[in-house]
């Protein structure tokens, strides 16, 4: 996954709550004590030891079952159920906000890690067509 795409995931995740009126939502990368931390530091990564501590390397991303009918991202990957992408980041979507973010009905985390805990690919449903 490119760094630009990861930044876009963070950006959409931050902007979308404002559309849902989650006032004060922001990344803890910018404001550690925010009332609604929708993007948080990954718990297993050290905040004190920088250098060689990011989540690196190829990681699996599993697409949601049923997404083959509507997911543009999945179509771009040839409809595969699982893809492998390079990751290089320290922040992630806060798991405590996933359902609240999805509640509007358009934001969908269509690709997740194998445990379903980390959000890897998101789409705004019905926004684009291929």
**pLDDT above 50: residue 3:** no
Dihedral pair phi/psi, residue 53, rounded to 5°: -115, -5
Please give the pLDDT value at position 4. Answer: 39
Q: Reply yes or no on whether the pLDDT at 94 is more than 80.
A: yes
Is 72 part of a structural domain of the chain? yes
Domain harbouring 59, CATH code = 3.40.50.880
Bigger pLDDT: 81 vs 15: 81
pLDDT for 9:
54
Domain of residue 109: give its range.
3-44+52-124
**Looking at residue 7, what is its pLDDT?**
45
Please report the pLDDT score of residue 76 as a whole number: 92
Is residue 104 a part of any domain in this protein? Answer: yes
Classify residue 35: in a domain, yes or no.
yes
In a domain? residue 107: yes
Considering only CA atoms, which of 75, 94, 117, 126 is closest in space to residue 9?
94
Work out how many domains the chain is built from and give that number: 1
Per the domain annotation, does 129 fall within a domain?
Answer: no
Mean pLDDT is highest, among 27-36, 45-54, 66-75, 100-109, for 66-75
The partner residues of 93 in beta bridges, in order of sequence, read 39
Q: Is residue 109 part of a domain?
A: yes
* CA angle in degrees (0–180, nearest 5) for 80-115-121: 50
% of the chain surpassing 90 pLDDT: 19
46 — pLDDT class (breaks 50, 70, 90): low
Handedness of CA 80, 6, 10, 19 (dihedral sign): negative
Give the closest residue to 35 by CA, choosing from 19, 44, 24.
Answer: 24
> What confidence tens digit (pLDDT) does each residue in 48-80 have?
666 655 556 688 999 999 999 999 999 999 999
Q: Quote the mean pLDDT of the chain.
A: 76
Is 63 a domain residue? yes
Say if CB 92 and CB 109 are below 8 A apart: no
Is residue 26 assigned to a domain?
A: yes
In the structure encoding, which two tokens stand for residue 84, read together?
């492998």
């Amino acid at each position: 996954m490119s760094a630009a795409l990861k930044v876009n995931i963070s950006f959409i995740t931050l902007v979308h709550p404002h559309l849902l009126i989650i006032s004060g939502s922001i990344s803890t990368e910018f404001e550690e004590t925010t009332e609604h931390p929708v993007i948080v530091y990954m718990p297993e990564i050290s905040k004190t030891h920088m250098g060689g501590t990011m989540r690196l390397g190829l990681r699996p991303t599993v697409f949601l079952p049923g997404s083959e009918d509507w997911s543009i991202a999945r179509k771009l990957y040839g409809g595969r159920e699982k893809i492998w992408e390079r990751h290089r980041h320290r922040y992630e979507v806060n798991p405590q906000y996933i359902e609240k973010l999805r509640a509007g009905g358009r934001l969908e985390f269509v690709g997740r890690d194998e445990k379903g805990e980390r959000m890897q690919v998101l789409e705004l449903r019905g926004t684009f067509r291929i």
